[in-house]
Amino acid sequence: MQTLTSPQPSATGAAEPFLVIDGVSKVYPTPNGPYPVLDNISLEVAEGEFICVIGHSGCGKSTLLDLVSGFGQPTSGEVRLESVPIREPGPDRMVVFQNYSLLPWMSAAENVALAVNTVFPHLKRNGDASRIVESHLAMVGLSEAADKRPASLSGGMKQRVSIARALALQPKVLILDEPFGALDPITKEELQEELLRIWQEHRVTVLMITHSIDEALFLADRVVMMTNGPAATIGEILELPFPRPRQRAQLMEMPEYYDYRNHALDFLYRRFAHDDQ
């Protein structure tokens, strides 16, 4: 895939891709001894790419993306963004969780403003922060609901606020941990379409966990399919050839769509079926 900026030279002088997950393993200490979750995972992601990560519950998807967000550190290996090793969380890698994580006593606009003012304190003085908040709420279609608190917003609206808040910080990487998992099917499809539109406009690099093969096939450039844990790794990567911009109805009419869908189903439910399936 074409990168949007020139790759930075790595320590060895070779061109380094935008985001590099370089041989990472993760072992959690537990009362029963060390628990190896991830085993020697490597992945290179181009700037502006949309990656979906799929795998059975508990295989280590969140653990893997925690290593990119910086919430977790690998036991061995390294994750690098633009050649810089990730050692801690930062506003260049924003995470949107399934549970929205909004402060309930603040309005939608205040939730976004808090993040903007914390990360860009200098913007508050000249009024630019308010403009950023307004434009990002407008981007997700929530201008009218800016003054509402989370309790008066639907699940889909709350997730829109979370996405607006994340993108208002102009991250290089947007990390989505099953963002639409709690939404009804119609709202889910609406938000998938909005996410694609926003991604296409912002060209932010997206790493998204999903349990839905159809969601992954609709959104992603590549689908990373993980094996079961313990010591999970990347079993296979599907490179999707579907043209963009994508229309769901058109996609559903493509015979290749079902080839990829069946391939992913076979991976998850036959080759790497859970013991209880």
Ligand X SMILES: Nc1ncnc2c1ncn2[C@@H]1O[C@H](COP(=O)(O)OP(=O)(O)OP(=O)(O)O)[C@@H](O)[C@H]1O
Closer CB to ligand X, 62 or 227, in the complex: 62
> How many angstroms from the chain centroid is the CA of residue 256?
25
Q: Does 264 bind ligand X (CB under 6 A)?
A: no
Q: Does 59 bind ligand X (CB under 6 A)?
A: yes
Rg of the chain over Cα atoms, rounded to whole angstroms, equals 19
Closer CB to ligand X, 47 or 215, in the complex: 215
Closer CB to ligand X, 8 or 75, in the complex: 75
Contact stretch for ligand X (CB under 6 A) within 7-15, 53-61, 133-141, 216-224 = 53-61
* Chosen residue from 9, 15, 35, 243 binding ligand X by CB under 6 A: 35
Q: Does 71 bind ligand X (CB under 6 A)?
A: no
Cβ at position 194, least distance to ligand X in Å: 23
Cβ at position 132, least distance to ligand X in Å: 31
Binding-site size for ligand X (CB under 6 A) equals: 13
* Chosen residue from 28, 71, 97, 242 binding ligand X by CB under 6 A: 28
DSSP 227: P
Distance separating alpha carbons of residues 34 and 28, to the nearest angstrom: 6
* Chosen residue from 20, 45, 48, 61 binding ligand X by CB under 6 A: 61
Contact stretch for ligand X (CB under 6 A) within 58-66, 82-90, 125-133, 255-263 = 58-66
Q: Does 37 bind ligand X (CB under 6 A)?
A: yes
Q: Does 30 bind ligand X (CB under 6 A)?
A: yes
Closer CB to ligand X, 133 or 268, in the complex: 268
Q: Does 69 bind ligand X (CB under 6 A)?
A: no
Distance separating alpha carbons of residues 233 and 41, to the nearest angstrom: 6
* DSSP character string of the chain: ---SSPPEE-TTSSEE-SEEEEEEEEEEEETTEEEEEEEEEEEEE-TT-EEEEE--TTSSHHHHHHHHHTSS--SEEEEEETTEEP-S--TTEEEEETT----TTS-HHHHHHHHHHHH-HHHHHTTHHHHHHHHHHHHTT-GGGTT--GGGS-HHHHHHHHHHHHHHT--SEEEEESTTTTS-HHHHHHHHHHHHHHHHHH--EEEEE-S-HHHHHHH-SEEEEEPPSSSB-EEEEEEP---SS--HHHHHT-HHHHHHHHHHHHIIIIIT--TT-
Q: Does 126 bind ligand X (CB under 6 A)?
A: no
Cβ at position 159, least distance to ligand X in Å: 17
Closest CA to 241 of 217, 263, 266, 262: 217
Cβ at position 68, least distance to ligand X in Å: 12
Q: Does 63 bind ligand X (CB under 6 A)?
A: yes
Closer CB to ligand X, 51 or 132, in the complex: 51
Contact stretch for ligand X (CB under 6 A) within 59-67, 114-122, 164-172, 184-192 = 59-67
Site residues (CB under 6 A) for ligand X?
28, 30, 35, 37, 55, 57-63, 229
